């Protein structure tokens, strides 16, 4: 296969993008009742200082997320060049989008203030499927103008329907002569939906996309023990009732089957995280849209959010086990053990063997016990935008992105 065209950057994105980023959509009322009361400072400090997580993802659409993240990062005292920071632009509120040049650039400048930084590493045109291809190209050009000013380094697009993301990446390359640097896909490499794999990710590679990131491994809270009917997500989550029902059944299977408990997994959250982290780490490498920032190994990059330090610790243990199974040296578990006493690490070849065994056990459990539960909803994806959707924000209007 002919390699896709790439325009040289000072540093190739794939060599510096971390394979794991902390997503901060959870620093928002869409996930918690009072984001300011959640332990966001402790989560960020724990991630960056104690556990070596050097990537952070946010958006102005996530309510106070940018401001909370900026405050927390500044409080760590870690130099700005020691971590990778990405945000988004274009989505102002739920049904309000403005991809005009003026609004997109004003949004990024405001993000710098909220994040307390002079630059961001990567900015996405947020939820690009809601806009026309022409509007997306306009937003990408606007972001590239800011790149020339040095206040951002890389430009991407994000969204839900993977075929639309691939088409947009192809059009951006065709119209501008330059590929988009990154694509962030969410909810399409999970235990319930593998829609990102295969042809979509191959199309993104052919369109010159350097790195594809997999986000929302729990599908915005759908794949959790609590589900999305018993919290803030109940009022906005786009999943149909029938999918919520089968996801609840899958969660019960994870609680009742002895295998997750025997692996020390507390529920569907850990099963789903482990499965998706491992699958994308491997599949992105095969598709040549992975990062090589960790030890030079080719690893698919994932974005995931937490609401507590305990959730972060549990997630990192799974992530490091994935790396063990891939034979990637990370030396990270010692930091967690030193600070909490959590976890144990086998020596030498046994470390990789343990990681591989855990990967195989989880994969077998998902395929044999969870996929039958999902049935016809396996690989189901709701329409985004839904039929009849109308943008409530006109580019000519004065709006938050221009304030």
Per the domain annotation, does 132 fall within a domain? Answer: yes
- The token duo for 355 is 């990681």
Give the range among 216-225, 262-271, 319-328, 386-395 with minimum mean pLDDT.
386-395
User: For residue range 45-66, what is the model confidence (pLDDT) as tens digits?
Assistant: 999 999 999 999 999 999 999 9
User: For residue range 307-363, what is the model confidence (pLDDT) as tens digits?
Assistant: 999 999 999 999 999 999 999 988 666 666 666 555 555 566 788 999 999 999 999
61 is an active site residue: no
CA distance 109 to 92: 14
pLDDT value, residue 238: 96
pLDDT value, residue 344: 56
- Cα-based distances in Å from 322 to 130, 182, 276, 330: 34, 23, 10, 11
Please determine, for residue 9, whether its predicted confidence score (pLDDT) is greater than 90.
no
Per the domain annotation, does 182 fall within a domain? Answer: yes
Assess contact for 22 and 220: CB atoms under 8 A.
Answer: no
| Set 61, 62, 124, 154: catalytic member | 62
Give the range among 69-83, 93-107, 365-379, 385-399 with minimum mean pLDDT.
385-399
Q: Report pTM.
A: 0.94
Per the domain annotation, does 9 fall within a domain? Answer: no
Model confidence band, residue 207 (pLDDT cutoffs 50, 70, 90) = very high
Per the domain annotation, does 383 fall within a domain? Answer: no
Residue 281's CATH number = 3.20.20.100
Q: How many residues does the chain have?
A: 403
Per the domain annotation, does 256 fall within a domain? Answer: yes
Which residues face 120 on adjacent strands?
Answer: 152
CA distance 142 to 107: 11
- Cα-based distances in Å from 49 to 79, 310, 340, 395: 11, 15, 14, 41
Per the domain annotation, does 399 fall within a domain? Answer: no
Per the domain annotation, does 381 fall within a domain? Answer: no
Per the domain annotation, does 401 fall within a domain? Answer: no
Whole domain around residue 319: which residue ranges?
14-372
- The token duo for 386 is 């839904």
The tally of domains found in the chain comes to 1
């Amino acid at each position: 296969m002919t390699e896709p065209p790439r325009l040289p950057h000072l540093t190739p994105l794939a060599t510096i993008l971390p394979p794991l980023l902390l997503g901060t959509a959870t620093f928002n009322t869409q996930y918690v009742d009072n984001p300011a009361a959640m332990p966001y400072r402790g989560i960020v400090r724990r991630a960056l200082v104690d556990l070596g997580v050097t990537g952070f993802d946010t958006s102005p659409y996530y309510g106070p997320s940018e401001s909370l993240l900026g405050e927390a990062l500044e409080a760590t005292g870690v130099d700005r060049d020691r971590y990778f920071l990405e945000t988004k632009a274009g989505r102002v509120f739920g049904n309000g989008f403005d991809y005009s040049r003026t609004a997109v650039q004003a949004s990024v400048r405001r993000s710098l203030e909220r994040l307390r930084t002079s630059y961001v590493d990567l900015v996405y045109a947020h939820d690009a499927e809601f806009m026309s291809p022409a509007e997306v190209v306009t937003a990408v050009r606007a972001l590239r103008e800011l790149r020339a000013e040095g206040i951002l380094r890389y430009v991407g697009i994000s969204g839900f329907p993977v075929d639309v993301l691939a088409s947009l990446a192809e059009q951006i390359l065709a119209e501008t002569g330059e590929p988009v640097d990154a694509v962030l896909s969410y909810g399409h490499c999970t235990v319930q939906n593998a829609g990102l794999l295969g042809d979509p990710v191959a199309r993104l590679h052919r369109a010159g996309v350097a790195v594809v990131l997999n986000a929302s491994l729990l599908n915005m809270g759908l794949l959790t023990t609590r589900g999305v009917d018993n919290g803030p997500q109940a009022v906005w989550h786009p999943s149909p009732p029938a999918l919520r029902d089968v996801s609840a059944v899958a969660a019960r299977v994870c609680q009742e089957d002895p295998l997750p408990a025997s692996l020390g997994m507390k529920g569907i959250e850990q099963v789903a995280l482990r499965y998706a982290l491992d699958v994308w780490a491997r599949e992105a490498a095969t598709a040549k849209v992975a990062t090589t920032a960790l030890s030079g190994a080719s690893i698919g990059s994932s974005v995931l959010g937490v609401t507590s330090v305990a959730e972060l610790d549990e997630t990192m243990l799974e992530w490091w086990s994935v790396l063990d199974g891939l034979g990637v040296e990370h030396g990270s578990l010692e930091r967690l053990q030193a600070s909490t006493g959590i976890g144990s690490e086998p020596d030498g070849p046994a470390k990789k063997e343990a990681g591989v065994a855990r990967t195989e056990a989880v994969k077998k459990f998902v395929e044999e016990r969870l996929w039958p539960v999902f049935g016809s909803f396996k690989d189901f994806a709701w329409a985004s935008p839904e039929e009849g959707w109308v943008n409530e924000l006109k580019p000519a209007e004065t709006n938050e992105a221009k304030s």
